[in-house]
Structure 1
């Protein structure tokens, strides 16, 4: 991994699909139902500024999805390469995500954080986020056509 310089943040584009999907296999905790070329294409096609990439010297060191639906600001897939953790990459990504939300008129960010990912809990708390125990995520897989 590159040195300790502040990462450069940019929005992902369609050409980044293979890079990001490979990165998530190394850096993300778990997988998502949308971790494929089609899911990636839908994300960057639907909300082109949502997937933020952190790079140092042209090397991908972190990602976060900062999606805004006009009502809520959602954070997903905050992932930092294992060799770049505890170097401020997550903080820079979250700052960029929060700036995006503020520019879009968002009022509060919420994050999807795995219960079992204790190290992530520390990072989110350090960034000012806290769990809301009165909420629980409900899901239903949708049929593919």
Structure 2
């Protein structure tokens, strides 16, 4: 049975394992702690048999929701965990009055693009610009 719930610090090691197994960078505790001061209810874990099997990190800036990190342990994929995590996150966005949700997908990640399109997310012709702050 899959349970979707809000992240708690006791989940951190399990979350980092999911990120590693999915080939994602691990967010350091300090960075995650800073994010959680804003909207902790938007960081969700999927638990199966007391093991963190999936995770999604969202944020709401007051205007738009953002899905920043969705990952499912490869051993638990193809069971609907990602879709359930996104559905719960969307419910929480709606409760905050969020009118639109955005996310970024690398253009060569065809499998991810198909997944998001099945959930109703459509690609836009926006251009992503980025600038590191405070680095030398």
Tell me the TM-score normalised to structure 2 length. 0.89
Partner SS for 1:78:
strand
In structure 1, the residue matched to 2:128 is 137
Contact kept in structure 2, 1:61 and 1:80, CA below 8 Å: yes
Partner SS for 1:20:
helix
Encode CA deviations 1:29-72: one digit per residue, 9 max, x unaligned.
Answer: x437xx21211221223321121111112111111112111110
Q: How far, CA to CA, are the matches of 1:37 and 1:23 in structure 2?
A: 15
CA-CA distance at 1:22 after TM superposition: 2.6
Structure 2 residues not aligned, in runs of 5+: none
Q: How does 1:34-73 map to 2 (within 5 A)?
A: 35-73=27-65
Say whether 1:15 aligns with 2:7: no
CA-CA distance at 1:21 after TM superposition: 2.1
Contact kept in structure 1, 2:18 and 2:72, CA below 8 Å: no
Contact kept in structure 2, 1:90 and 1:123, CA below 8 Å: no
Give 1:27's match in structure 2, choosing from 18, 22, 29.
22
Q: How far, CA to CA, are the matches of 1:58 and 1:15 in structure 2?
A: 12
Q: How many residues align?
A: 135
Say whether 1:83 aligns with 2:106: no
Structure 1 residues not aligned, in runs of 5+: none
Runs ≥4 in structure 1, deviation > 3 angstroms? none
Partner SS for 2:41:
coil
Partner SS for 2:37:
helix
